[in-house]
Amino acid sequence: MIDPIKKVCVIGSGTMGAGIAAQVANAGIPVLLLDIVPRDGSDRDAIAKGAVAKMLKTDPAPFMSKRAAKLVETGNIDDHLGRVAECDWVVEAIVERLDIKQSLYAKLEAVKKPGTAVSSNTSTIPLANLVEGRSDQFKRDFLITHFFNPPRYMRLLEIVTGPDTDADLARRVEDFSDRALGKRVVHAKDTPGFIANRIGTYWLAVAVNAAMDQGLTVEQADQIGGSPMGVPKTGIFGLIDLVGVDLMPLLSASLSATLPQGDPYFETVRDMPLVEKMIAEGFTGRKGKGGFYRLDKSGGQKVKQSLDLATGEYRAEQKPEKLPGKAEKDLAALVTVPGKVGDYAWTILGHVLSYAAKLVGEAADDIVAIDDAMTLGYNWKFGPFELIDRLGPGKLAERLAAEGRPVPALLKSAGTNPFYRIENGQRQYLSADGSYRDVKRAEGVVLLEDIKRASQPLIKTGSAALWDVGDGVAAIEFTGKMNALDEEVIKLINQAIPLVKASFKALIVYNEGSNFSAGANLGLAMFAVNIAAWSEIEKLIAGGQAAFKALKYAPFPVVSAPAGLALGGGCEICLNSDAIQAHAETYMGLVECGVGLIPGWGGNGEMLDRAAKARMMPKGPMPPLSKVFQTISTATVAKSAAEAQELLFLRETDGITMNRDRLLSDAKAKALSLVDGYAPPEPPTFRLAGESGRVGINSAVRDFQKKGMATAYDGVVSDRLAEVLTGGEADIVDTVTEDQLLRLERKAFLASVKDPRTQARVEAMLTTGKPLRN
Amino acid sequence: MTDVVIAGYARSPFHLATKGALARVRPDDLAAQVIRGLLEKTKVDPAEIEDIILGCAFPEGEQGLNVARLIGLLADLPLSVGGMTVNRFCGSSMSAIHIAVGQIAIGAGEAFICAGLESMSRVPMGGYNPMPSPELMKKSPGAYMGMGETAENVAQKYQITRVEQEALAVKSQQKAAAARASGKLTEEIIPIQTKGGTVSEDGTIRGETTAEALAGLKPAFSQDGTVTAGTSSPLTDGASAVLVTSADFAAKHGLTVLAKIKSVGVSGCAPETMGLGPIEASRKALARAGISAADLDVVEINEAFASQAIACIRDLGLKDETINIDGGAIAIGHPLGATGARIVGKAASLLSREGGRYALATQCIGGGQGIATVLERA
């Protein structure tokens, strides 16, 4: 059993330090954030305090909840460094200057307890230099933990240990970073830039230079170097704009100063007068006046412009032609497109992939570490070795050789063998010695991806599948586009219930898409509307209500485990479960009102029940009603699982998992914990506010309309929602059953879906992706 | 009729709801501290007090039950002192004074504490469970209308421009800031002990406010309206209390009399323009006192909104120099149930401080009413 970390100190409250402190607080762990004493002003803690205040206004938010922000205590290095004695881990995230870091460590050494881990968030300075002159004890306690920006959202953590680092201490930090901070830890060697930034910086340098040399526009470069290679849609120049154009020379200088002689980076790096001019004139990217792209507002309108790489002047955006044939999807086809497209793609891939291959053994132990670093640290869809497999390892080596360029040893030894293969359902990677080894997950991690590779679904429909995920637990996976819910999902739920009852102990609802589910399939619904198939729509709503109810009252525990978006029906399936085990980055909401609908699959009753039972809810029929009405009528989406708990989507007994990789195992554990003595829940009954409450709510909505905060049709939809939430015809002394509430919900849903104003909203959402405010 | 006098006035500092220094103070505790302060200040023997009559606009939650009685117990008053909570929304604690006047007149006691309180931080305006009558909502929607909307209606009916409203707001802020700076508010404020330390000054006054700054605010209640947050009284936490006794009692016990209560009045009006309530109520009270507006030397008119205050000042023909001498509710704040006792106490204190013979304290009331009290220098 690893001794858990109970308190953390972060020194340095810049973007990284403050962001790391916020993530520690997000995990519910108290954190002390220290910075230097400001030169002027009376408040000696002003710098760290200012960093926290700034984070509370930052979007995307570094904090998952306001509660988390209260766990950050601020101070200054001069007065409070002694308090590191209270902490189990000290993270240093101060300025990248060796002398300053070393002098801080000297001070730290005097006050910290032996065995308290100290780690640096340096991105460039070798560990060996950092610990120079320190005691043996300090060296045992020291390591590098390299976070990525922003620390809440980027899942990569590179850990570098030195020859003297205590293995148990490093494991303690790694375990905390994994379970509490939610990071996937990649072990890097003590080499400049570690893994992700070394390859990433090289990649950007190659891609920028080649775009200039080969006469491409920034749009063409981002088209070719973007999605076909699995790179986020910002591409190359868009990414530089995002991180800051001024960061390029800094990264380049620091790598140039530390990389070993003969590194291929030196062949690429060169002075960039255009970039220097941009920085000098304040065109530092999105944070500045613009970068390679900008929005020109000078003419009163927003006009998208791009920088002409040859002249250095802005011009109107030029949409490039579509890539020919299979080039968008097939890397081998992409690099052989004649002319600029193929040349540019090959220049990037040929250089970057062989550079990555060269770094196995030097910067990382194996290809898995490198692929993880690039997918998690730069959000690439595929790591370099997965890209090589897509391109063909033989073809890559062949072309490099044909061009008289060095072929890295690892690539040579691979021959035409892929870097990854599936053997008996197990994913394996090619190791440096030429043998295949299992790709191992961190201890306790279970992924559906791995289970699916090794087994067949128990049941499968057009939009969902049921899997045996081990230990007597079955899992429903959504498989449709955007994991949308439709009658095929409902069909699967209905088939799954008897099967789980017969052969399993518990059921979970889980998938590994980037979003749990964005809700019901609106496109299908609109199709039914267009042919006026009202009875079909009613059947879909009633069918969904019945299926979710069947899940709720099934004779076994049901746990939903959302991550990413869980909207509309995707939220309602969670609400109808016995428990929710949510990933910390879950964005949950009942957003139906936004498209002129109201929740139709039991969401209203579930929310009323949660609100009525919430702690601290004032007495009387109105407070729970007001809370629920406010959340649903404004289509509020929680920006984290912690916020979902504040909005009452999650109960206090529901769980939150910080590490996405551990969500399935935590959900299983949650479900299994409910098995002993399980009894389905008693159906809730409601005492609702009736007509009087409805009048109160309606008049509040009218006030919002007067203030211009709600549209005319918002008022109509709100009235329909209020009708359900106040119990329709029921009087305040009546008891409303769950079934009565479901009937009201269906009626209001159908009234909405038949309304042309709702149809216009749905249509707009489907075609533009933006809400229509009619 | 037995002569009835105001023999003491005190209030808590007033602070903005939710973000102010009193947000974390329970309203019953706040009022208990003010009442203790009033007793110490007037040196009246608590055993002589007949009753605490306390006004509160939303008497629920921490200011619920019969909070007047609970405050008496909290303030360690003798068990013999009674307690009654009254509600006339914003006019609650002025009504508390009027009830005491009546009680004294019929010989049902000689000394009363008439108090008011409201924590708009801790009990929402409208209460926790607003449940309007569907029938009345149809028949008279104004009965439930938001106060801001009624202020817009008054502005429209009286053609009061946004600039005029802002001029009144700036003046109110300047007068309050000047009064505070010269120590004129210290006398009436009872410092409040809170978990965060002692609070002894108002947290609402913005003396630096300018017409330009106010002109930049968005309308608060209607997209195309003229009423803004800057020309409305802020949501406020506060408590107030006055000591009301018979003239004989005051003389016998050597109390310092601030003013004599000359007459009172209440009048209903259209709910949609509730801000006009003070007009008829004041006319009634003035007529009962046998005087006219021209005879007034001190006027405390509650600035629920600048628009309604201007309309009332205009219709009643009040003299500018007599109005809200130390600033009004736009600057000082308007903790609903506490305002009536504040403005009566303040008018009485001003008469004794500034000289002059007659004073008027008057305010509008949600749902369509006005209430007024005429005082005469003792």
Domain ranges in chain A are 8-187, 196-363+370-422, 448-591+637-681, 595-631+682-774
Contact A622 B132 (CB under 8 A): no
**pLDDT score, position A303:** 87
Sign (positive/negative) of CA torsion A479, A480, A481, A484?
A: negative
Model confidence at A551: pLDDT above 70: yes
Sign (positive/negative) of CA torsion A726, A729, A733, A737?
A: negative
**B334 counts as catalytic:** yes
- Least confident stretch, A82-91, A524-533, A636-645, B302-311: A524-533
Query: Of B15, B98, B114, B334, which one is the catalytic site residue?
Result: B334
Burial-class residue A3 by CB neighbours within 10 Å (0-12, 13-18, 19+). exposed
**B90 counts as catalytic:** yes
**pLDDT score, position A41:** 83
CATH of domain A196-363+370-422: 1.10.1040.50
User: From the CA of A621, how many Å to the nearest CA of chain B?
Assistant: 7
State the Cα–Cα distance between residues B101 and B213, nearest whole angstrom.
44
User: From the CA of A722, how many Å to the nearest CA of chain B?
Assistant: 13
Bridge partners (DSSP) listed for residue B371: B266, B363
Find the Cα–Cα–Cα–Cα dihedral B97, B98, B101, B102, rounded to 10°.
-140
- Least confident stretch, A285-299, A417-431, A478-492, B238-252: A285-299
**pLDDT score, position A183:** 97
Read out DSSP for A503-562? H-SEEEE---SSSSB--B-HHHHHHHHHTT-HHHHHHHHHHHHHHHHHHHTSSS-EEE--
Tell me the HSE value of A310 on the side-chain side, using a 13 A CA sphere. 5
Binning pLDDT at 50, 70 and 90, where does residue A1 land? low
Contact A691 B134 (CB under 8 A): yes
**pLDDT score, position A368:** 97
**pLDDT score, position B14:** 98
**pLDDT score, position B13:** 98
State the Cα–Cα distance between residues A547 and A549, nearest whole angstrom.
5
**pLDDT score, position A325:** 84
Q: Is the distance from CB of A129 to CB of A99 less than 8 angstroms?
A: no
Model confidence at A528: pLDDT above 70: yes
Find the Cα–Cα–Cα–Cα dihedral A648, A654, A660, A666, rounded to 10°.
-170
Place of tokens 């002249």: A311
Q: Between A41 and B149, whose confidence is greater?
A: B149
**pLDDT score, position B105:** 96
Token duo for residue A569? 């029906």
Q: Which chain A residues have a beta carbon less than 8 Å from that of B146?
A: 703
pTM reported for the whole predicted model: 0.89
Backbone torsions φ then ψ of A185, nearest 5 degrees = -90, 130
Choose among A620, A696, A708: nearest Cβ to B132.
A696
**pLDDT score, position A99:** 93
Model confidence at A656: pLDDT above 70: yes
Q: Which chain B residues have a beta carbon less than 8 Å from that of A706?
A: 149, 221-223
Mean pLDDT estimate for chain A: 94
Bridge partners (DSSP) listed for residue A479: none
Q: What is the CA radius of gyration of chain B?
A: 19
Backbone torsions φ then ψ of A256, nearest 5 degrees = -60, -35
The predicted-structure confidence for A112-134, as pLDDT tens digits, reads as follows 999 999 999 998 888 999 999 99
**pLDDT score, position B1:** 67
Tell me the HSE value of B145 on the side-chain side, using a 13 A CA sphere. 26
Q: Between A531 and A20, whose confidence is greater?
A: A20
Bridge partners (DSSP) listed for residue A91: A10, A119
In our burial notation (b when 16+ CB lie closer than 10 A, e otherwise), range B108-135 reads: ebbbbbbbbbbbbbbbbebbbbbbbeee
Choose among A618, A699, A708: nearest Cβ to B132.
A699
Q: Between B130 and A553, whose confidence is greater?
A: A553
Model confidence at A540: pLDDT above 90: no
Query: Of B56, B90, B114, B269, which one is the catalytic site residue?
Result: B90
Choose among A619, A693, A703: nearest Cβ to B131.
A693
Q: Which chain B residues have a beta carbon less than 8 Å from that of A695?
A: 131-134, 137, 144
Spans of chain B, pLDDT less than 50: none
Q: Is the distance from CB of B165 to CB of B173 less than 8 angstroms?
A: no
Give me the mean pLDDT over the A166-181 stretch: 97
**pLDDT score, position A379:** 93
User: From the CA of B221, how many Å to the nearest CA of chain A?
Assistant: 5
Token duo for residue A605? 């009753």
The residue of A617, A625, A697, A707 whose CB has the most chain B CBs within 10 angstroms, and thus the best one to mutate to test that interface, is A707
The predicted-structure confidence for A663-694, as pLDDT tens digits, reads as follows 999 999 999 999 999 999 999 999 999 999 99
Domain A8-187 falls under CATH 3.40.50.720: yes
Q: Is the distance from CB of B217 to CB of B200 less than 8 angstroms?
A: no
Backbone torsions φ then ψ of A536, nearest 5 degrees = -65, -45
Binning pLDDT at 50, 70 and 90, where does residue A544 land? very high
User: From the CA of B132, how many Å to the nearest CA of chain A?
Assistant: 5
**B98 counts as catalytic:** no
**pLDDT score, position A529:** 83
The predicted-structure confidence for A380-398, as pLDDT tens digits, reads as follows 999 999 999 999 999 999 9
User: From the CA of B206, how many Å to the nearest CA of chain A?
Assistant: 24
**pLDDT score, position A247:** 84
Taking Cα atoms as reference points, which of B244, B191, B235 lies closest to residue B44?
Answer: B244
Token duo for residue A263? 């590194």
State the Cα–Cα distance between residues A400 and A274, nearest whole angstrom.
30
Q: Which amino acid is at A637?
A: V
In our burial notation (b when 16+ CB lie closer than 10 A, e otherwise), range A261-282 reads: eebbbeebbeebebbeebbeee
Q: Is the distance from CB of A223 to CB of A235 less than 8 angstroms?
A: yes
Query: CA B223 → CA A703, B162, B216, distances in Å?
Result: 10, 14, 14
Taking Cα atoms as reference points, which of A620, A660, A687, A413 lies closest to residue A514?
Answer: A660
Q: Which chain B residues have a beta carbon less than 8 Å from that of A620?
A: 128-129
Share of chain A above pLDDT 90, in %: 82
DSSP state of A71: T
- Domain range A448-591+637-681, its CATH number among 3.90.226.10, 2.60.40.10, 3.30.70.20, 3.40.1410.10: 3.90.226.10
Choose among B137, B146, B223: nearest Cβ to A695.
B137
Binning pLDDT at 50, 70 and 90, where does residue A472 land? very high
Please name the residues between 606 and 645 in chain A that touch chain B, using a CB distance below 8 Å: 618-623
The predicted-structure confidence for A600-654, as pLDDT tens digits, reads as follows 999 999 999 999 999 889 888 999 999 999 999 999 999 999 999 999 999 999 9
Q: Is the distance from CB of A21 to CB of A7 less than 8 angstroms?
A: no
**pLDDT score, position B18:** 93
